[in-house]
Amino acid sequence: MCVSLDKDSRIETYNDAYGGAYIDENYLVVCVTSDCLRSTIDSEKIIYRKVEKTYNELLRTKTSLREKYQDLYDELVMDNSESPEFEAISSIAGIGIDCKQNTVFCDVVNLDNKKEAMLFSLFPEAENIIWKNVSDEPRD
């Protein structure tokens, strides 16, 4: 698998057929968008799974979401930190890639319908993002 650094965007780029990887029980599941990577490594412990989005696409979506989040956060802090928009945006706890679901997710503290609707209005381009509820309770 070839990984390089895109000098313009400072994002690592992967082979165009690579869609990510994860461990499922005792197997390495390699997600691919085409069959060209399937013959790269032959092992009984590797499963190839066809997915829709490349890992590069997921990285670009994640980066775009993170940049928009930062811009909105900075704007809302200056304008009105008491607004429902700021409450929704400030509850974002993390943004990541879920290779198993082949999507980008956003962890939101105490996500409810009202907060989710606000986030959809703030991020209309994020229709394929999975908004995940996380608790603000400390872990043991």
pLDDT in tens, 72-83: 999 888 876 788
pLDDT tens column, 6-37: 445 555 688 889 999 999 999 999 999 987 76
Structure-model confidence comparison of residues 76 and 55, the more confident one: 55
Residue 27: its pLDDT value, please? 93
Query: Would you state the pLDDT for residue 5?
Result: 44
- Which domains occur in the chain, in start order? 3-50 (no CATH), 55-134 (3.30.300)
With beta carbons less than 8 A apart as the criterion, state whether 128 and 106 touch: no
For residue 137, give the DSSP letter.
S
CA angle, 83 then 86 then 92, to 5°: 150
